[in-house]
Amino acid sequence: MESISTRFRIIKETFPSELISIIGSILAGIILSILILPFKSFPVLILIIPALLSLRGNISGPFIARTSRDLILGEFGIKSWGENVLATYVLAIVTSILIGIITVLMNLFIFRLYILDIGIIIIIPTISMLFSLSISIPISTILNYAAFKLGFDPNNVVGPTMTAIDDFFSVVSFYLTLILMGVP
């Protein structure tokens, strides 16, 4: 059973990170709305965004937890980190393509909005996720390492903080992908 001091430490470490997470996510949502509202393809894009943001959290979270675990157990190294990165990218690519396919199916059979080509709808989440992870992975690794070296439990600090950071970079990555793909 956890002592009161351990529970207080968890709350003390986690609470500021959760505040950052909440504020960051709200700001990312506002920025996202401002950036994608002018697109003619907004009705299709809005189908992708919730799944993409959820996916980003579901993929980044385990990466952060595995890196944190390796640091705590003293098993962190280039090989374990590289395997973790590879697994994260493969999972991201497969699930991003799945998001694109589901968006295409929803678009074709339910909403019938023919604003974007099928291929572009499938590619948008994939490229966006790859951009986002390319920023998220190094930042989360550095934060995990720094939290660990400073005596904090990375599981309490890094996850919530990375939610805000990842939300922001996911929004930026999504927008950049739309621009690069020439989405109307």
Segment 14-38, tens digit of pLDDT: 888 888 888 988 898 889 889 988 9
Q: Looking at the predicted structure, is the pLDDT value of residue 9 above 90? A: no
- Compute the distance between CA of residue 156 and CA of residue 10 in angstroms, rounded to an integer: 7
Q: What is the reported pLDDT for 73?
A: 93
- Compute the distance between CA of residue 182 and CA of residue 176 in angstroms, rounded to an integer: 10
Q: What is the reported pLDDT for 2?
A: 60
- Compute the distance between CA of residue 82 and CA of residue 170 in angstroms, rounded to an integer: 22
The verdict on residue 97 lying in a domain is yes
Number of residues that make up the chain: 184
Residue 111: enclosing H or E segment and its boundaries? none
The verdict on residue 47 lying in a domain is no
The verdict on residue 176 lying in a domain is yes
Domain span at residue 77? Answer: 59-184
The mean pLDDT value for 106-132 works out to: 89
The C-alpha angle 82, 85, 88, rounded to 5 degrees, equals 150
- Compute the distance between CA of residue 171 and CA of residue 152 in angstroms, rounded to an integer: 29
The verdict on residue 82 lying in a domain is yes
The total domain count for the chain is 1
Q: What is the reported pLDDT for 57?
A: 84
Interacting residues of 111 by C-beta distance below 8 A, sequence separation 6+: 43, 44, 47
The verdict on residue 8 lying in a domain is no
72-109 pLDDT, tens digit per residue, is 999 999 999 999 999 999 999 999 999 999 999 988 88
The verdict on residue 25 lying in a domain is no
Residues 99 and 55 sit within 8 Å (Cβ to Cβ): yes
The verdict on residue 172 lying in a domain is yes
Q: Tell me whether residue 23 is exposed, middle or buried, using C-beta atoms within 10 angstroms of its C-beta: 0 to 12, 13 to 18, 19 or more.
A: exposed
Where does the pLDDT of residue 1 fall: very low under 50, low under 70, confident under 90, or very high at 90 and above? low
